[in-house]
Amino acid sequence: MISLTEENYLKALFNLANHAGEVNVNELSKQLDIKMPTVTSMMKKLAGKKLVYYESYKPLRLTEKGKREASLVIRKHRLTEMFLAEKMGFGWEEVHDIAEQVEHVQSAAFFDKINELLGFPKLDPHGAPIPDKNGKLAWVAYDKLSDCHVGETVRVSAVVHTSSEFLKFLNNREIKLGTRIKIKSIESFDSSMVISYDNRPAETLSHAVCERLLVEKKV
């Protein structure tokens, strides 16, 4: 059995994993707002359960079993987010905090029903893919808006680090998944972008914003 606490560590490990699947103790500590010694001891515990590879002073890595379990928690989280948004009328900026709690419900029937009522969605309200029942995740590699060039027209496909503040910022500007953005110019000194979309007047987006907007170029 995996405790609620352990589920949270697995989820954070999964979300922080870089290309090589590695996470530092320090990063994980900051992500979870839990002190490093506590993280170290939990990693030893999870290693004992064959969920994490742990060696002193080495980066952390999930085992295959760990990845599967983490994905299943993320599945519950994203299905919940989608249900809250699609079936209950919550805004995409509201769903994360509630899903953070609902995801720990232990009832396959509950999440199966949500999945069914939603028509087996592939993406959550932030454009993130929903892992399947076996914990398999079909990752689509989007581009960051900040990596695009002047003159390109792109479609917003997902948002990263979906803090409520950031999403409210997007709401205020009516930027949502599917919005087609044209890059008019890029300020070289701060990498901010002047863009236009939806027949609106030109708008400037800071680099911080552009890094969090994931887009597709082939519109």
Partner DNA sequence: CTAAGATGTTAGAATAATCTAACAAAATAT
Partner DNA sequence: ATATTTTGTTAGATTATTCTAACATCTTAG
- Residue 57, interface with DNA (CB under 7 A)? yes
* Alpha-carbon gap, residue 53 to 64, rounded angstroms: 10
Of 54-93, which residues contact a second copy (CB under 8 A)? 84, 87-90
CB 71 within 8 A of CB 133: no
Beta carbon nearer to DNA, 7 or 93: 7
Candidates 61, 41, 59, 39; CA nearest to 51 is: 61
- Residue 108, interface with a second copy (CB under 8 A)? no
Neighbours of 110 (CB within 10 A): 14
Strand partners, 204: 194
* Alpha-carbon gap, residue 198 to 54, rounded angstroms: 50
Partner from a second copy, DNA, none binding residue 38, C-beta < 5-8 Å depending on class? DNA
CB 57 within 8 A of CB 72: no
Write down the least CB distance from residue 78 to a second copy, Å: 17
- Residue 15, interface with DNA (CB under 7 A)? no
- Residue 98, interface with a second copy (CB under 8 A)? yes
Q: Which stretch binds a second copy (CB under 8 A): 8-16, 42-50, 105-113, 168-176?
A: 105-113
Q: Provide the 3-class DSSP secondary structure of residue 205.
A: strand
- Residue 20, interface with DNA (CB under 7 A)? no
Residues that bind a second copy (CB under 8 A): 84, 87-90, 94, 97-98, 101-102, 104-107, 109-110, 113-114, 117
